[in-house]
Chains A and B, each alone.
Chain A
């Protein structure tokens, strides 16, 4: 069997490890437009702030490709999938044939058109090892940095640049921060926390016009800068599949085996649409664990072991300036909320199930809540006072504990 994987991040590595659980000898070729050994994309902010070394940014050991019998074609770009001929075409015109193809192309930074963007002296995105290397080459203490976007990427960039004593202003059209994972109240606690570390926010407005070293905002304010970082969001890289005739909506459409609508073509990670089991809706779940697990399931299927990827939910574990957040599921339902300083807890119940939660500050043992969402644990079998108090195995029935902790199979 001849496997070809486009991409070299978490979904690609999941695919390789999935294939190798089933097929120890098939040929695997990884094609990536980046020149690096597989590295962890979420670690780029840690690398920039000096908390991860050049060696530790790599997602797998230096011998990973060799140990898994993987040939790499790095710094090479696929321009076309020929699904009929079963090959991929590279930008240099060469073709690479496949029996099974994985599209793990991820996403790219979304850079909306803004007036005067071409005049900005130093403009960056925050998505790749190369992007943080370029930022690091320029950053200086006291440097004024304007970050467009108060989401996960923009605020991770702010945290990293704060280590360089940069003077940081974050502008976002929304009137709150981290709206993809936090509710209004938790967002406000986190905003205060980040402000206390020196980062400034200007919310509810956007840039009217850039000049070389300043931005005029629509609310009338002007922000001077030495560097701009655009972090308003990402867009999935779906073109290869759509141009080959595969079904693409907001992302690449896959079945539960991660196969696209094209024969022998699979996809995984941030370029795909997932089914959110907590809300029952289809959406892009751009999360590393989701990418890896989709890739692993795809890899097994590509190698002939039928398996499905089910119970995906949105979930995030992230911290900013030492304040941690763990969230999962969806927030539509009856709420239980506790707040104490920087500690915030929201549990969301619907249809007799735990559907979602936000934990900020004290995030210990949050996975017990996550498992209740994924496994749809009936709340009538759970001690609700204990559930609300903290995540604990004590809230479950003795028989569930025997199964979970005692190795008793039922």
Chain B
């Protein structure tokens, strides 16, 4: 299955993937409207910045998927290999945050829910927006 991978030698730490991800999943038609009026849509990809290296972390859609197995609400499930969250069912207990070994599940404090990468399968983009946005090709969408 194709997944998003990050080359930490190429990541500039510019955070464009985060902004693009947040906008893509906000339901707004473009970046300007997504952030208009002080709105802070939540990104499902997170940059870790270091002295010399940077990289992005997002859901690995891993085979073990402890987040799905541990979800107390039955909100997380695997659909055609993609781990998705039914945000209406999520109660914000954060058992998935406790379980994810990558720290890839994001807490939406305002929404009292979690948000996670679904490879843009459920928004209007159809393919991962972070990949298209990366100016240095540090994020790729491929089989490994």
Contact = CB atoms under 8 A, between A and B. Distances in A.
Mutual binders A and B? yes
Given A56-B88, A367-B99, A367-B101, A326 B94 contact: yes
Give the size range of B's interface with the partner.
35 or more
Nearest to A370: B98
Interface string B58-102: 001000001001101110000000000000110111111111111
A113 interface: no
Given A394-B50, A407-B3, A363 B107 contact: yes
Contacts of B19: none
Contacts of B6: 405-406
Nearest to B106: A364
B39 interface: no
B103 A393 contact: yes
Chain A interface, >50% SS class? mixed
Interface stretch (A40-48, A90-98, A256-264): A40-48
Nearest to A42: B72
Contacts of B120: none
Given A59-B74, A317-B93, A328 B101 contact: no
A315 interface: yes
B73 A293 contact: no
B13 to A, nearest CB: 12
B63 to A, nearest CB: 11
Nearest to A288: B72
A322 B68 CA distance: 23
A51 B89 CA distance: 10
B97 A367 contact: yes
Nearest to B70: A289
A318 B98 CA distance: 10
Contact of A363 (B48, B89, B94, B99): B94
> Among the interface residues B53, B55, B102, B103, which one has the most CB atoms of the partner chain A within 10 A?
B103
Interface residues of A, number: 44
A407 B144 contact: yes
A405 B8 CA distance: 10
Contacts of A408: 144
B103 A392 contact: yes
Given A319-B93, A370-B99, A43 B72 contact: yes
B129 interface: no
A317 B97 contact: yes
A25 B93 CA distance: 35
A407 B96 CA distance: 21
A404 B103 CA distance: 11
A270 interface: no
Interface in A289-318: 289, 292-293, 296, 315-318
A394 B99 CA distance: 18
A365 B48 CA distance: 12
Contacts of B35: none
A324 B92 CA distance: 10
B102 A404 contact: yes
Nearest to B56: A405
B101 A371 contact: yes
A401 B55 contact: yes
Contacts of A398: 8
> Among the interface residues A289, A315, A398, which one has the most CB atoms of the partner chain B within 10 A?
A289
Interface of B: 3, 5-8, 48, 50, 53, 55, 57, 60, 66, 69-70, 72-74, 88-89, 91-103, 105, 107, 144
Given A406-B144, A407-B5, 6 more contacts: A42-B72, A289-B69, A324-B94, A367-B103, A367-B105, A401-B8
5 contacts: A289-B70, A316-B98, A367-B102, A375-B101, A393-B57
